[in-house]
Amino acid sequence: MIRTRIAPSPTGNLHIGTARTALFNYLFAKKMGGKFIVRIEDTDLERSSRKFEKDILAGLAWLSIEADESPVAGGKFGPYRQSERTETYRKNLEILLSGGLAFYCFHSQKELLEERESLMKSKKPPVHLCEYRNMGPQESEIFKEAKRDYIIRFKNHVGRQIFFHDLIRGDLTFESDLIGDFSIAKRIDIPLYNFAVVVDDETMQISHCIRGEDHLSNTPKQILLIEALGFKKPKYAHLPLILGLDRSKLSKRHGATSVGEYKEMGYLPEAMFNFMSLLGWNPGDDREILPKEELIKLFSLEKVQKSGAIFDINKLDWMNGEYIRRKSLAELSELSRPFLKNFLRGSKSKEHIEKILAVEQPRLKKLSDLPEKTDYFFKEPKYERGLLRWKKMTDDEISSSLNLAIGLLKENKSLEIEKLEKVFLEEAQKMGDRGLLFWPLRVALSGKEASAGPFEIIKILGIEKTAARLKYALKLFS
Ligand code: GLU
């Protein structure tokens, strides 16, 4: 049975990097008919909070990366929070300690720091081969009773090579001498990451450990612990880092980094799902719009790239637009509601909103652009009168253009909009430059440099409002 997992620490909101890792774990598990598990790594009680756990789980649910087992979904390998698994860790720590495979280290922070600095100074790797590694249990007890501060370390092998095969990076080798006696717990009931993760992966029967490349240096440590405890080694796949457009590691400097922020900005979960799937993977051809079901069919770890994956916001904008265009107007109107809420007070009918959205749907990139793009449908536009000027028109020419529009509107008010547009077009053609009639008209209606075309707007505003806005524009020149 294929079982994959993510193990986020609830010390911040759901990060794009974690979401991408979750997605690859999910796609792989689903493709193989396996299970995807979310467990919460909250051993650092000071930095962990339920608020962040909620954000992480809600973000995954929003993206429809559904967990088969999690603190909320439950499952038979639970509990799924490390803080609730203390007994399991303790048992396994005791096995290592009593077998002489782990030991109590009584060095103070200061001593360790000094050792590190002196090693660095003499250009040696900062590896701690602990003086306490051979201390027997009785002596350790005496030290502990004397209230000496301690941590628990793994007694590493000397001069050993650790091999493993990474499904993305191929065969890798690490030297135990460059790892040293690494720490595995702060106390018997406070395990540290490398130890807890190994116990969790074993007890949750994780078959594939798919995680960020930043964990590569942890893997040999985890393999040593797996061997020491007689556990089964999962398969490993380390995903490339996500980079900003400048090729440095994605960070706040590049813009939003949490999934929640993208939701707030009006990106659709389907678009995020699709976009993130291409962060380090592609189907082997140039297809990019790949909905969830298709991605599950196509995904393979072999096609994950080794080099960093660039997070290109322009591509996300484009892709989001594509997904927006796949929505029905009813769906789009439902999705847009939170973004237009300031305009929706009062009696705006559903059809009215849908008509407005139909105008914007073909060019919209994200839902949060809607208020700025559609406000003039809901309230009178405000603008500088200079905006009404097309090219080098004089004030008088603008006034007469507006007057002409008002006149044409009055004469043809019973015409259908398409016919009305024809009348305007014919008139504009006579003027030699369509902009002379259409630009002031469009700006008078929208108050914007860029907007939908004037007749798209008139269709929604109606003749009366259109005439009123033209008259208002005209007044700016009186
Ligand atoms: N808490 C770690 C992280 O979120 C888990 C790493 C792992 O998958 O082993 O990066």
Positions marked active-site: 252
**Structure token digits, residue 48:** 């962990």
Separation in Å, CA 345 to CA 217, 338, 351, 379, 380? 55, 12, 15, 12, 16
**Structure token digits, residue 158:** 């000397």
Q: Which of 240, 210, 247, 250 is closest to 304 using CA atoms?
A: 240
* DSSP secondary structure, 382-432, as one string: ---GGGG--TT--HHHHHHHHHHHHHHHHHTTTS-HHHHHHHHHHHHHHHS
Task: Compute the chain's Rg from CA coordinates.
Answer: 32
What pLDDT was estimated at residue 346? 66
Ligand 1 neighbour 7 (Cβ under 6 A) = yes
| CA 196 – ligand 1 centroid, Å | 11
Supply angle C-alpha 143, 149, 152, rounded to 5.
85
**CB-count burial class (<10 Å; 0-12, 13-18, 19+) for 409:** buried
Q: State the residue for tokens 């591509």.
A: 315
Ligand 1 neighbour 201 (Cβ under 6 A) = no
- 413 and 424 Cβ atoms separated by less than 8 Å: no
Whose alpha carbon is nearest atom 5 of ligand 1?
7
Residue 102 CB coordination number (10 Å): 25
Element (H, E) at 212: strand 208-212
- 89 and 185 Cβ atoms separated by less than 8 Å: yes
What pLDDT was estimated at residue 45? 85
What pLDDT was estimated at residue 347? 61
For residue 107, give every residue at least 6 positions away whose Cβ sits within 8 Å of its Cβ, in sequence order, or none: 115, 130, 131, 132
What pLDDT was estimated at residue 58? 98
| CA 108 – ligand 1 centroid, Å | 27
Phi-psi bin for 453: left (phi > 0), alpha (psi -120 to 50), beta? beta
**Structure token digits, residue 415:** 């015409």
The model scores a pTM over 0.85? yes
For ligand 1, mutation pick of 24, 82, 197 (most atoms within 8 Å of CB): 197
Ligand 1 neighbour 8 (Cβ under 6 A) = yes
DSSP 74: B
Whose alpha carbon is nearest atom 3 of ligand 1?
8
Tens of pLDDT, residue by residue over 67-100, are 999 999 999 999 999 999 999 999 999 999 999 9
Ligand 1 neighbour 42 (Cβ under 6 A) = no
Ligand 1 neighbour 211 (Cβ under 6 A) = yes
DSSP 81: B
What pLDDT was estimated at residue 378? 93
Whose alpha carbon is nearest atom 1 of ligand 1?
8
Q: Which of 368, 334, 78, 389 is closest to 205 using CA atoms?
A: 78
Ligand 1 neighbour 9 (Cβ under 6 A) = yes
> Closest ligand 1 atom to the C-alpha of 211?
8
| CA 37 – ligand 1 centroid, Å | 13
Ligand 1 neighbour 360 (Cβ under 6 A) = no
Q: State the residue for tokens 């082997």.
A: 284
Q: Which of 320, 399, 435, 304 is closest to 27 using CA atoms?
A: 304
For ligand 1, mutation pick of 4, 6, 25 (most atoms within 8 Å of CB): 6
For ligand 1, mutation pick of 23, 25, 52, 193 (most atoms within 8 Å of CB): 193
Phi-psi bin for 242: left (phi > 0), alpha (psi -120 to 50), beta? beta
Ligand 1 neighbour 270 (Cβ under 6 A) = no
| CA 72 – ligand 1 centroid, Å | 19
**CB-count burial class (<10 Å; 0-12, 13-18, 19+) for 37:** buried
The one-digit pLDDT tens for each residue of the chain (478 residues) are: 999 999 999 999 999 999 999 999 999 999 999 999 999 999 888 899 999 999 999 999 999 999 999 999 999 999 999 999 999 999 999 999 999 999 999 999 999 999 999 999 999 999 999 999 999 889 999 999 998 899 999 999 999 999 999 999 999 999 999 999 999 999 999 999 999 999 999 999 999 999 999 999 999 999 999 999 999 999 999 999 999 999 999 999 999 999 999 999 999 999 999 999 999 999 999 999 999 999 999 999 999 999 999 999 999 999 999 999 999 999 999 999 999 998 887 667 888 999 999 999 999 999 999 999 999 999 999 999 999 999 999 999 999 999 999 999 999 989 999 999 999 999 999 999 999 999 999 999 999 999 999 999 999 999 999 999 999 999 999 8
Ligand 1 neighbour 41 (Cβ under 6 A) = yes
- 288 and 294 Cβ atoms separated by less than 8 Å: no
- Separation CA 54–CA 50 (nearest Å): 6
Whose alpha carbon is nearest atom 10 of ligand 1?
8
Strand partners, 166: 170, 236
Ligand 1 neighbour 215 (Cβ under 6 A) = yes
| CA 283 – ligand 1 centroid, Å | 26
What pLDDT was estimated at residue 51? 97
For ligand 1, mutation pick of 47, 60, 211 (most atoms within 8 Å of CB): 211
- 175 and 127 Cβ atoms separated by less than 8 Å: no
- What is the Cβ-side half-sphere exposure of residue 438, based on CA atoms within 13 angstroms? 24
What pLDDT was estimated at residue 43? 87
> Closest ligand 1 atom to the C-alpha of 210?
8
